[in-house]
């Protein structure tokens, strides 16, 4: 595809986070793309799941219906109505995630905001390039995250190509549940990749994420064999009671023992982002399960020892 066409390619993002020192080497700009084929119970970015922009209601910022009623009658689908205690109720079965998001645009206090914006590649790269000086000094660059960035394949690949033309190093955070052809093309454009493995048992994987792990492990195997020089960091978010067993850690260690070129990092469970479930009218599926202090360190130790 010509650069001109890449620059015009549109996609839906929900955040651009600058000066990050996580999610890849050096100082990075993280571009969060909307849309994900998984529905992990512990997901800290519930606004990433839908591929479309969507309204979110924050009661704490709403002025209250005794002071403001701007959003009530403006929705073309009549999805907004009075809720309890002078609050607003957005009927998610009626809301069509309309393009205009007028409910959010008329709100004076960010009581309703929109998660997600449509942007083209040129707009994103212009924002990413503003920090080139930090990338060159630190070995950083742009990281595509989500959601699952490759769930918008044309947009994600165009972003990677355009960054490559500008000599911006690129990283990708992926759940791996994507067609191999897309992952293969992305890998050829990347400086590094962060690849999540949530459970080695497919049935358990499906319980926690909504899908089995067959294609995820097969893609990882192909990636590590075909791109031996691409830095690959396999990561597991360690969720108490779901995947923190010794058996699971040993199975992952045995898998990684066949791939010396892969790094591994166990990530501790956290509850950041639970407030966003309420903003979207959703319940947080894990309730108040324990944080599992030390579980990630133990998991890391067992994986490292098994693959040694």
How is the chain classified by DSSP, letter by letter?
A: --HHHHHH-EEEEEEEEEEE-SSSSSSEEEEEE---S---TT-S-GGGSSSS-EEEE-TTT---TTT--TTTTT-TT--EEE-STT-EEE-TTT----SS-HHHHT-SSSSEEEE-EEEEHHHHHHHHHTTHHHHHHHT-EEEEESS-GGGSHHHHHHHHHHHHHTT-EEEEEE-S-S-HHHHHHHHTT-SEEEEE---SSHHHHHHHHSS-SHHHHHHHHHHHHH-TTS-EEEEEEE-TTTT--HHHHHHHHHHHTT-TTEEEEEEE---TTHHHHHHTT---TTTT----TTHHHHHHHHHHHHH-
- Show contacts with ligand SF4 in window 18-57 (CB under 6 A): 55
Q: Which stretch binds ligand SF4 (CB under 6 A): 43-51, 76-84, 175-183, 278-286?
A: 76-84
**Considering the complex, what minimum distance in angstroms separates the CB of residue 123 from ligand SF4?**
22
Q: Does 70 bind ligand SF4 (CB under 6 A)?
A: yes
In the three-class reduction of DSSP (H, G, I as helix; E, B as strand; rest coil), residue 241 is classed as coil
Is residue 107 near ligand SF4 by the rule CB under 6 A?
yes
Q: Closer to ligand SF4 at the Cβ: 1 or 94? A: 94
Return the bridge partners of 55, or none: 114
Q: Work out whether 81 is an interface residue with ligand SF4 (CB under 6 A).
A: no
Is position 103 an interface residue for ligand SF4 (rule: CB under 6 A)?
Answer: yes
One residue of 13, 30, 51, 88 binding ligand SF4 per CB under 6 A: 88
Q: Does residue 15 interact with ligand SF4 by CB under 6 A?
A: no
Check residue 86 for interaction with ligand SF4 (CB under 6 A).
no
CB under 6 A: which stretch of 33-41, 101-109, 205-213, 280-288 binds ligand SF4?
Answer: 101-109
Stretch that binds ligand SF4, among 35-43, 105-113, 221-229, 261-269 (CB under 6 A): 105-113
Q: Which one of residues 30, 33, 56, 112 is an interface residue with ligand SF4 (CB under 6 A)?
A: 112
Q: At closest approach, how far in Å is the CB of 112 from ligand SF4?
A: 5
Residue 79 or 171 with smaller CB distance to ligand SF4: 79
Q: Is 278 in the site for ligand SF4 (CB under 6 A)?
A: no
Which chain residues interact with ligand SF4 by CB under 6 A?
A: 55, 62-63, 65, 68-71, 75, 77, 79-80, 88, 90, 95-98, 101-103, 106-107, 109, 111-112
């Amino acid at each position: 595809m010509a650069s001109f066409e890449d620059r015009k390619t549109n996609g839906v993002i929900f955040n651009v986070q600058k000066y990050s020192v996580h999610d890849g080497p050096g100082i990075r700009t993280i571009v969060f793309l909307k849309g994900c084929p998984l529905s992990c119970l512990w997901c800290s970015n519930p606004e990433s799941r839908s591929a479309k922009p969507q309204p979110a209601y924050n009661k704490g910022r709403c002025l209250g219906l005794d002071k403001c009623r701007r959003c009530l009658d403006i929705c073309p689908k009549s999805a907004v109505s009075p809720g309890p205690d002078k609050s607003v109720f957005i009927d998610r079965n009626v809301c069509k995630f309309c393009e205009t998001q007028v409910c959010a645009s008329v709100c004076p206090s960010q009581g309703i905001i929109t998660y997600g914006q449509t942007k083209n590649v040129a707009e994103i790269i212009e924002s990413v390039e503003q920090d080139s000086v930090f990338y060159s000094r630190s070995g950083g660059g742009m990281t595509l995250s989500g959601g699952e960035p490759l769930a918008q394949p044309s947009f994600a690949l165009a972003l990677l190509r355009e960054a490559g033309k500008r000599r911006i190093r690129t990283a990708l955070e992926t759940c791996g549940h994507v067609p191999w052809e897309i992952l293969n093309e992305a890998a050829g454009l990347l400086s590094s990749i962060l690849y999540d493995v949530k459970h080695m048992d497919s049935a358990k994987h499906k319980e926690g994420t909504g899908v089995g792990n067959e294609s995820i492990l097969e893609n990882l195997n192909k990636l590590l064999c075909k791109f031996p020089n691409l830095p690959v960091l396999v990561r597991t978010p360690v969720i108490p009671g779901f995947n923190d067993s010794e058996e699971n850690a040993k199975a992952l260690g045995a898998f990684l023992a066949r791939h010396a070129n892969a790094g591994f990092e166990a990530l501790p469970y956290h509850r950041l982002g639970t407030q966003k479930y309420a903003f979207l009218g959703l319940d947080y599926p894990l309730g108040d399960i324990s944080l599992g202090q030390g579980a990630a360190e133990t998991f890391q130790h067992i994986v490292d020892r098994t693959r040694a």
